[in-house]
Amino acid sequence: MYKTYFGLSEEPFRVSTDPRFLYLTERTQEALKTLEHGIEARKGFILLTGEVGTGKTTLLNKLLEMLHEQDVATAFVFNPRMPASQLFDYILADLGIVCKSRLRSHVLFKLQQWLLDRYQAGKQTVLVVDEAQILSRQALEEIRLLTNLETSTEKLLQIVLAGQPELEQKLNQRDLRQLRQRIALRAKTLPLSEEETRGYIQERLRIAGSNGEEIFSAAAIEAIHRHSCGIPRVINLVSEQAMVRTAFGQARPVPAEIVDGVARDLSLHEVELLPGPEPVALPQAGKNGHGRKHRARARHGFKTGGERRNGHADPQSLGISQVKLPLFVYGYSADGNPFYEHAHTIAMNPRGGLISMNTPVEPGQKLLITNKENECSQECVVEFLGARLSRGVDVAFEFSTPMPEFWGARQLENRAANEGQEVCA
């Protein structure tokens, strides 16, 4: 086992939500403090959101661990796909409430009396719902009604809803405005910066029993951050496989070359870009000189809507599909801070896509794109920037390693048929 080779007592990067391995960055501490404050102050509804793999469940497990130490009664819903009626029964069972009657009015009375008894004893009760973005509207309404259990001044039940950014989009819909208006506090989890990635790796190694010897070279850690885009779940995956390969080859410390090899096998690696399109308007080349390189390489691919109408590009010949799909975009700004933005495709082909963004990006910059409909993610590189419009700046990107399933061919065909559009094969 690689852990013996590196002198560790346990596996540092196993995919789990063990709160012992929670790495408290400044932003994570802020999120945890927000949750703690909301519960202590009996705020009612608290919202925690973050992209896939950024540590929401681990943070929730840390919160639950702390609450249990404080004798707080908790119900934790980790699979909210169940029907609304079963969800309510599950919550009561997890709280240890037994009601012989099946009448809804009797069950609610029993719950309210139980919560009131705890409140009068100075005790808290918390409901935590993970993956809340997949809750049905009926289930969300059931949960909202639980906040009606209150005294004249305070809520008897504190509710934490945690989920992907789609949860925020769902709550912004008009028919859920009653629930949205009751959310008192909001917290977020974000990808790690390069410095935080280094601290994250070193802390996990320490917890796993490292004696302080260098296990990952500085270049390897930089490569891990670059390939993972700072997403903890991907950091774990790359780091563990890199350690296994290093131990097999009897090398030490883990070199960047092995990390790059793991990233290639996971389709996270960077490859030579295919020729891109001639830009409508390119910004001045930055300090890194990306502008000149990408201008020279931009020859064909996506064109703006005006160029297509003028006959400069034929969407069918380029395999372009003009279908609106919801995406989530991760990246790093010029100052090194991570950002994320919701976007929709304007057009796409097997090699990449065209979207509109409000966050400034540059040609040559790497982004992580997630297709919200099938939850596939791929690394891509910005190829060119269009003119600034009211909706933002059009950004064309090309995948580092295109995955056939990313856009979902059958899904696109169904969407195009529903919208009365033709998908160009």
> How many angstroms from the chain centroid is the CA of residue 37?
24
Q: What is the architecture, at CATH level 2, of domain 26-189?
A: 3-Layer(aba) Sandwich (3.40)
Contact of 209 with 10, CB cutoff 8 Å? yes
| Confidence check: pLDDT of 141 > 80 | yes
Task: Report cis status (omega within 30 of 0) of the bond before 253.
Answer: yes
Residues 129 and 252: their CA atoms lie apart, in Å, by 43
Which residues belong to CATH 3.40.50.300 in the chain? 26-189
pLDDT digits (tens, 9 = 90+) for 384-403: 887 677 778 889 898 887 77
Which residues belong to CATH 1.10.8 in the chain? 192-265
Give the pLDDT mean for 24-29.
92
Contact of 368 with 329, CB cutoff 8 Å? yes
SS3 content of the chain, % helix, strand, coil (to 5): 40, 20, 40
Beta-sheet pairing, 45-50 with 158-163: parallel
pLDDT digits (tens, 9 = 90+) for 269-328: 443 333 333 333 333 333 344 444 443 333 334 443 334 334 334 434 445 677 788 888
Q: How many CB atoms lie within 10 A of CB 96?
A: 9
With CA atoms as reference, report the closest residue to 297 among 305, 306, 289.
289
CATH 2.40.10.220: does it fit domain 290-419?
yes
Q: What is the architecture, at CATH level 2, of domain 192-265?
A: Orthogonal Bundle (1.10)
Tell me if the pTM is above 0.75.
Answer: no
DSSP letter string over 155-186? BSSEEEEEE-THHHHHHTSGGGHHHHTTEEEE
